[in-house]
């Protein structure tokens, strides 16, 4: 494959385990929201969708994954779920899954400074501290 060719696969890789799953792009539609949530609509033969379910079966949601669209480069993401889709027009031997990913972004120093406190913890004030 030359540098100008795009691979026909959408590849997902578990960062820690190194497991990899390749999905043919002809079965995929990708939708992205402004809140960095990516929905990967996968309408494929049942054997392929079972591979996808097995890949995420024992997946720990705090682990990160990387995905690569057509060999264009790896992008970090957090797994948010695998949902059954509905499409009555699919052939009998096809299934529809929606893979939800959230694009991973490391916050900048400015963003970290502007984070709102989510904890209500306050240190206990004692009489000894006031002296």
- Give the residue extent of every domain in the chain: 9-106
CATH code for residues 9-106 = 2.40.10
Beta bridge partners of 66: 13, 76
HEC states along 7-72? Answer: CCEEEEEECCCCCEEEEEHHHEEEEECCCCEEEEEEEEEHHHHHHHHHHHHCCCCCCEEEEEECCC
The rounded distance, in Å, linking the Cα atoms of 51 and 57 is 10
For residue 39, pLDDT over 80 is answered with: yes
pLDDT digits (tens, 9 = 90+) for 93-129: 999 999 999 887 776 777 777 766 665 666 666 656 5
């Amino acid at each position: 494959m030359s540098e100008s060719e795009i691979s026909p696969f959408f590849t997902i890789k578990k960062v820690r385990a190194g497991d990899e799953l390749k999905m043919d792009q002809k079965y995929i539609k990708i939708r992205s929201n402004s809140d960095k949530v990516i929905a990967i609509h996968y309408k494929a033969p049942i054997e392929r969708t079972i591979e996808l379910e097995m890949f995420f079966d024992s997946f720990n949601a705090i682990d990160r994954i990387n995905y690569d669209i057509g060999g264009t480069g790896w992008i970090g993401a957090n797994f948010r779920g695998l949902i059954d889709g509905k499409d009555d027009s699919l052939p009998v031997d096809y299934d529809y899954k929606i893979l939800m990913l959230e694009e991973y972004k490391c916050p900048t120093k400015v963003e970290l400074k502007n984070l709102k406190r989510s904890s209500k913890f306050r240190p206990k004030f004692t009489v000894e501290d006031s002296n």
